[in-house]
């Protein structure tokens, strides 16, 4: 296929590189002027999307996505598919889908899970919203960039799946860190804590695959001084998106709200920016229970 790729940052560049290495003709554009191996550089977003069968975007937020979409849709070929892999609000995803429909284009919202490592290795998971026919057209590209693509239904549902998943992740990471902190103060070793919980009802991805305690379980960012695999500020972004969606849908999400506020304080008021989201453990371990009046 001929592919236009807009946004060649930490995630977009390896994704575009993998597509080019697989034999697709990839033309890319990034406002920072960067490119990726095997990708044909373009002077503008409009130039990158001209004659493309599929246009892929990987952008920071919904406002930028809306602006880029409004700019490039008029330069895209009729029948092409705009495949957005950014993590943005559901409203922006659906607004862009409407723009594409009005212009005779297909559209998919397909946020990813797997981080920079997954983008480089081609092992991302895609959560995809949009028409079945558009999903089928993009499926060969998902197979190159990732290990799994789940069609979640109508436009916007890919973003809905991503923010629901990451709300669970944020809440369970905090609960896991709280439990380790409590175990410390009760004199239970972290290794014993892990051995019990990882094979009991407290089993979770946060505990078993991404343990926030250094030296315990499989290697994780905790073993590298909490250098980000998934940065705390990105978790905060996703939690805020979840609460924005919850407010719009009138959904009661008290644990999601609490997790959002805890990560907000960690990132904006403390030293969480630039650290992995699992660094919530040393934060909690250093604190004492607030005294009750």
Cite the active site residues.
Answer: 162
Closest by CA to 14, choosing from 39, 31, 51, is: 39
- Residue 97 and residue 70 in contact, taking contact as beta carbons nearer than 8 Å: no
Count the Cβ atoms, other than its own, within 10 Å of residue 192. 11
Q: Which residues share a beta bridge with 148?
A: 125
* Strand bridging mode 124-130 / 112-113: antiparallel
CA-to-CA separations, 219 to 48, 176, 194, in angstroms, rounded: 40, 16, 13
Q: What are phi and psi of 169, to 5 degrees?
A: -60, -45
Q: Is 64 helix (H, G, I), strand (E, B) or coil?
A: helix
Closest by CA to 59, choosing from 46, 72, 68, 50, is: 68
- Residue 5 and residue 56 in contact, taking contact as beta carbons nearer than 8 Å: yes
* Strand bridging mode 25-29 / 54-57: unpaired
Is residue 20 within a helix (H) or strand (E), and if so which, with residue range? helix 12-21
User: What is the phi-psi region of residue 157: left when phi exceeds 0, alpha when psi lies from -120 to 50, beta otherwise?
Assistant: alpha
Tell me how far the alpha carbon of residue 237 is from its chain's centroid: 10
């Amino acid at each position: 296929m001929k592919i236009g790729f807009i946004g060649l940052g930490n995630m977009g560049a390896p994704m575009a590189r993998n597509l080019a290495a697989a034999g697709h003709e990839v033309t890319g554009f990034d406002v920072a002027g960067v490119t990726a191996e095997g990708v044909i550089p373009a002077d503008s977003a409009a130039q990158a999307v001209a004659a493309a069968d599929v246009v892929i975007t990987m952008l920071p937020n919904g406002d930028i996505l809306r602006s880029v979409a409004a700019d490039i849709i008029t330069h895209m070929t009729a029948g092409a598919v705009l495949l957005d892999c950014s993590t943005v609000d559901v409203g922006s995803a659906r607004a862009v889908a409407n723009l594409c429909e009005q212009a005779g284009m297909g559209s998919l919202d397909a946020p990813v899970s797997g981080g920079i490592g997954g983008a480089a290795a081609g092992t991302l998971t895609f959560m995809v919203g949009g028409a079945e026919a558009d999903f089928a057209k993009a499926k060969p590209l998902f197979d190159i960039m990732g290990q799994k693509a789940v069609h979640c239904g109508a436009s916007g549902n890919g973003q809905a799946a991503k923010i629901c998943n990451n709300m669970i992740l944020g809440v369970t990471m905090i609960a896991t860190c709280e439990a380790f902190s409590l175990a410390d103060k009760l004199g239970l070793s972290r290794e014993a804590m892990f051995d019990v919980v990882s094979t009991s009802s407290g089993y979770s991805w946060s505990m078993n695959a991404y343990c926030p305690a250094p030296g315990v379980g499989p290697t994780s960012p905790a073993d590298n001084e909490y250098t980000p695999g998934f940065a705390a500020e990105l978790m905060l972004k996703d939690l805020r998106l979840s609460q924005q969606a919850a407010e719009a849908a009138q959904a009661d999400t008290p644990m999601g709200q609490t997790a959002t506020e805890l990560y907000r304080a960690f990132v904006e008021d403390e030293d969480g920016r630039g650290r992995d989201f699992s660094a919530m453990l040393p934060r909690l371990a250093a604190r004492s229970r607030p005294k009750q009046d």
